[in-house]
């Protein structure tokens, strides 16, 4: 069995209109929700062996918020090709860079993240599919399992959604509420 963790970057700042999109940092909420999701991942033993992360600033800052909560060695690859990738681009990155790891994480952007999750899910809890279809919020995490031993064999419709975590729900169960709404 192989497990894919699809994480959308945490909420980014739009305070400075002159900042290029690639260079936008996380805002206050994003700087809080990234470590919140990292703690939640650790609490649920969701430890990726390899992380493929967009090289955009907001995804790198999201990754930095997760790292203190991850255990063991992690192979981290910052990839420009993930930035602004479509579903097909994400699938290509996963097939080419996933190798034979059992637990793979992709940290990226919408709409590619949402489209990729919906494309890969073939079974599992339909409520999770409906939630993802409705909105894949910032710092949202989809956990999808596959019956494969090599990510090069990844195909649409072959995954089983096992969890979908949203920071707002995690806040309700254990962390202080954060001020801004998800986007």
Q: What is the pLDDT of residues 95-127, one digit of tens each?
A: 999 999 999 999 999 999 999 999 999 999 999
In whole angstroms, give the CA distance from residue 65 to residue 61.
6
**Cα within 13 Å of Cα(45), Cβ side:** 0
Q: What is the pLDDT of residues 159-173, one digit of tens each?
A: 999 999 999 888 655
> What is the phi/psi pair of residue 107, to 5°?
-110, 115
In whole angstroms, give the CA distance from residue 151 to residue 158.
12
Task: Label residue 181 by pLDDT band (50, 70, 90).
Answer: very low
Q: What is the pLDDT of residues 15-73, one digit of tens each?
A: 999 999 999 999 999 999 999 999 999 999 999 999 999 999 999 999 999 999 998 89
DSSP-based three-state secondary structure for 183? coil
In the chain the domains, ranked by start, together with CATH numbers, are 2-174 (3.40.50.1240)
In whole angstroms, give the CA distance from residue 30 to residue 11.
4
């Amino acid at each position: 069995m192989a497990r894919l963790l699809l994480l959308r970057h945490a909420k980014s700042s739009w305070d400075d209109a002159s900042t290029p999109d690639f260079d936008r940092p996380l805002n206050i909420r994003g700087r809080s929700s990234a470590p919140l999701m990292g703690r939640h991942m650790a609490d649920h033993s969701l430890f990726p062996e390899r992380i493929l992360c967009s090289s955009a600033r907001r995804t790198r800052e999201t990754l930095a918020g997760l790292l203190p909560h991850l255990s063991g060695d992690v192979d981290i690859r910052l990839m420009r090709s993930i930035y602004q990738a479509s579903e097909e681009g994400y699938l290509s990155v996963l097939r080419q860079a996933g190798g034979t790891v059992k637990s793979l994480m992709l940290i990226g952007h919408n709409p590619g993240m949402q489209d990729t999750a919906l494309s890969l899910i073939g079974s599992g809890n339909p409520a999770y599919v409906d939630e993802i279809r409705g909105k894949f919020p910032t710092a949202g995490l989809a956990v999808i399992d596959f019956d494969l031993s090599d990510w090069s064999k990844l195909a649409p419709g072959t995954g089983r959604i096992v969890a979908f975590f949203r920071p707002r729900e995690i806040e309700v169960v254990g962390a202080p509420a954060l001020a801004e709404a998800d986007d």
